[in-house]
A and B are shown apart, each in its own frame.
Chain A
Amino acid sequence: MDHERAHLEGVLGGRLTRRGMLRLLAAGLSVPTMSLLAACGEASVGDDGGGAAPTATTAGGATATRAPSGSTPAATPGGAGGAAPSGPIRIGVILPLSGVAASVGIDEKAALELAVKIVNEATPDVALPLAATAGLPNLGGAKVELIFADSQGKAEVGQSEAERLITQEKVVALFGCYQSAVTKTASAVAERAGIPFMNGESSSPALTESGYRWFFRTSPHDGDFSKAIMAFIRAMADEKGADVKTVSLLYEDTDFGVNSATALKAEAEAHGLQVVGEVKYKANTTSLTSEVQTLRSQGADVLAPASYTNDAILTIETAKQLGYLPKMIVAQDAGYSDPAFIEGVGAAFAEGIATRSAFSIDITEIKPVAAKVNELYKQATGKNMHDVPARGFTAMMVLLDAINRAGSTEPEAIRQALEATDLGPDDTIMPWKGVKFDEKHQNILGTGVIVQIRNGEYRTVYPFDVATVEPTFPLQPWDQRGS
Chain B
Amino acid sequence: MTTATVRTGTRPVFWVALGLLAVVLLALPLILRSDSRLNIAILVLVYAALAQAWNLLGGFAGQISLGNAAFFGLGAYTSTILFSRWEVTPWLGMLGGALVAAVFAVIIGYPVFRLGGHYFAIATIAMAEIVLTVFNDWEFVGGAVGLLIPFARVDGRPADSWYYLQFNQHKEPYYYIALALVVLVTAVTIGVSRSKVGYYLRAIKNDQQAARALGVHVLRYKLIAIALSAAFSAIVGTFYAQYLLYIDPETTMRLELSVLIALVAILGGVGTVAGPLIGAAVLIPAAELTRSQLGGTGNAVDLILYGGLIILISIFQPNGLMGLVERVRRRGRGRPLTPPSDEEALAREEAPLLGTYEEERG
Residues of A within 8 A of B (CB): 12-15, 17, 19, 22-23, 26, 29-30, 33, 36-37, 40-41, 43-45, 64, 66, 97-98, 102, 105-106, 109, 147-150, 152, 154-157, 159-161, 163-164, 166-168, 181, 184-185, 188, 191-192, 194, 204, 206, 210, 213, 253-255, 257-259, 280, 282
Contacts and interface: CB of A to CB of B under 8 A. Distances in A.
Interface in B1-49: 34-37, 39-40, 43
Given A41-B293, A253-B137, A255-B144, A30 B246 contact: no
Nearest to A164: B36
A23 B316 contact: yes
B232 to A, nearest CB: 19
A184 B246 CA distance: 7
A44 B298 CA distance: 11
B300 interface: yes
Contacts of A14: 339
Nearest to B137: A253
A106 B295 CA distance: 12
B136 A148 contact: no
Nearest to A213: B156
> Could you say which of B43, B240, B248, B308 has the most chain A C-beta atoms within 10 Å of its C-beta?
B248
28 contacts: A17-B345, A22-B315, A22-B316, A23-B316, A26-B315, A30-B312, A66-B297, A98-B298, A109-B298, A148-B297, A155-B246, A155-B248, A156-B240, A156-B244, A161-B292, A161-B295, A163-B39, A164-B39, A167-B36, A168-B36, A181-B146, A184-B146, A192-B151, A192-B169, A194-B157, A210-B148, A253-B136, A254-B250
Contacts of B43: 160
A98 B250 contact: no
Interface residues of B, number: 55
Chain B CB within 10 Å, residue with most, of A26, A156, A280: A156
B291 A185 contact: no
Interface in B245-264: 245-246, 248, 250-251
Interface in B84-102: none
Contacts of A105: 298
Given A168-B36, A188-B244, A43 B293 contact: yes
Interface in B109-162: 133, 136-137, 143-146, 148, 150-151, 156-158
A421 to B, nearest CB: 21
Given A40-B293, A206-B145, A255-B145, A163 B298 contact: no
Contacts of A157: 291
Contacts of A109: 298
Contacts of A259: 145
Contact of B251 (A40, A181, A204, A282): A181
Nearest to A194: B157
A41 B287 CA distance: 15
Contacts of B316: 19, 22-23, 26
Contacts of B215: none
B209 interface: no
Contacts of A15: 339
Nearest to B298: A97
Contacts, number: 152
Nearest to A95: B298
Given A194-B157, A213-B157, A255-B144, 16 more contacts: A17-B345, A23-B316, A33-B309, A37-B305, A40-B294, A43-B293, A155-B246, A155-B250, A160-B288, A161-B292, A161-B295, A164-B36, A167-B34, A181-B246, A185-B251, A206-B145
B325 interface: no
A125 to B, nearest CB: 28
Contacts of B150: 210
A13 B296 contact: no
A147 B136 contact: no
A262 to B, nearest CB: 9
Contacts of B146: 181, 184, 255
A105 B250 CA distance: 20
Given A13-B336, A148-B296, A156 B36 contact: no
Contacts of A44: 296
- Closest 9 A/B residue pairs (Cβ): A150-B295, A148-B296, A97-B298, A164-B36, A167-B35, A167-B36, A184-B246, A155-B251, A163-B39
A12 B337 contact: yes
A163 B145 contact: no
Given A40-B294, A43-B293, A188 B245 contact: yes
Contacts of A41: 293
Contact of B294 (A43, A106, A147, A160): A43
Contacts of A160: 39-40, 43, 288
A45 B244 contact: no
Contacts of B246: 155, 181, 184-185, 188
Q: Which of B169, B298, B312 counts the most A-chain CB atoms under 10 A from its CB?
A: B298
A405 to B, nearest CB: 24
Contact of A192 (B145, B168, B240, B297): B168
Contacts of A97: 295-298, 300
B294 A206 contact: no
B244 A163 contact: no
A267 B349 CA distance: 64
Nearest to B256: A154
